[in-house]
């Protein structure tokens, strides 16, 4: 399989207007992003695909990830709806296909082999999981034939996921961080703002640069000028003292915390 090169990506959750979504994806790719994340749950795969097609960037240079809805995780539904995702995206494959949440129709012994089947059939190059607990992650590794290429979870300076980051390093997969700005709360965080001022950048760039330095591939949502601004995180080297200061921040609460999430059971 082609190697999976995951750096900062564009998150598309909440990009509900098709024209805005398409324009944002195309602008992000033309600005330098090479990782685009969507999901069946976001109901925007067609608009994301249109943005990929509208960009001047070659398809093979872009990591395209989507996720199977938790209601579609019965084996036959996994196989059918993953192909429907390809049709909506206008692609013959995705680079990364995730189990979105291990809830509702998720049955590890039945669901995960269907993802292996899709990888064998060329529907996806890589298999990922999202919102798994450490125990569920270990279980999935035992069942899957395919290696887990990525685990996507909420991760930001106030919710740093140290255990899952350590497991990503141990198991040799990438941790992909959604809500890397804590749904905007990091932008108003006074301690992050002080670090940003010392480094002549925005709090968003600080949060994204911290993630990249700590081995997390962040997927911020952005529109307009913020799309390009977030890419500054690739070029800034925060001093180790500032990175350590972020690691020492008091932890906050999850921003995304459904009642039926695996960690609430």
Give φ, ψ of 93 to 5 degrees. -165, 160
**CA torsion, points 100, 106, 109, 112, in degrees to nearest 10?**
-20
Residue 42 is a catalytic residue = yes
CA-CA distance, 186 to 140, in Å (whole number)? 32
Q: Which two tokens stand for residue 49?
A: 């695909």
Show the beta-strand stretches assigned E in the chain. Answer: 10-11, 35-37, 63-68, 94-99, 124-130, 148-154, 174-178, 216-218
* Integer CA distances (angstroms), 26 to 32, 46, 227, in order: 10, 13, 11
Of these residues, 33, 42, 98, 106, which one is catalytic?
42
Mapped onto helix, strand or coil, the DSSP state of residue 23 is helix
Question: Among all residues, which ones are annotated catalytic?
Answer: 42
């Amino acid at each position: 399989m082609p190697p999976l090169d995951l750096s900062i990506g564009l998150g598309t959750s909440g990009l509900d207007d098709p024209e805005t979504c398409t324009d944002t994806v195309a602008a992000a790719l033309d600005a330098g992003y090479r990782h685009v994340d969507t999901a069946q749950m976001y109901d925007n795969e067609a608009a994301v695909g249109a943005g990929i097609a509208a960009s001047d960037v070659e398809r093979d240079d872009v990591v395209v990830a989507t996720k199977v809805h938790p209601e579609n995780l019965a084996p036959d539904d996994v196989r059918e709806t993953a192909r429907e995702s390809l049709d909506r995206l206008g692609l013959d494959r995705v680079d990364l296909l995730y189990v979105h949440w291990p809830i509702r129709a998720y049955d590890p012994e039945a669901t995960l082999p269907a993802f292996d089947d899709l990888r064998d059939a060329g529907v996806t190059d890589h298999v990922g999981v999202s919102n798994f607990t450490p125990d569920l992650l270990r279980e999935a590794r035992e069942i899957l034939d395919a290696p887990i290429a990525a685990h996507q979870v909420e991760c930001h300076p106030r919710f740093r996921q140290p255990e899952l980051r350590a497991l990503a390093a141990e198991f040799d997969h990438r941790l992909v961080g959604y809500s890397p700005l804590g749904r905007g709360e990091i932008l108003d965080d006074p301690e992050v703002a002080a670090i940003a001022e010392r480094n002549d950048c925005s709090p968003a760039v600080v949060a994204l640069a911290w993630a990249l330095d700590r081995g997390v591939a962040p997927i911020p949502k952005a529109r307009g000028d913020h799309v390009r601004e977030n890419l500054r995180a690739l070029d800034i080297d925060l001093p180790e003292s500032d990175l350590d200061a972020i690691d020492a921040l008091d932890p906050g609460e999850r921003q995304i915390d459904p009642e039926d999430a695996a960690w609430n059971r």
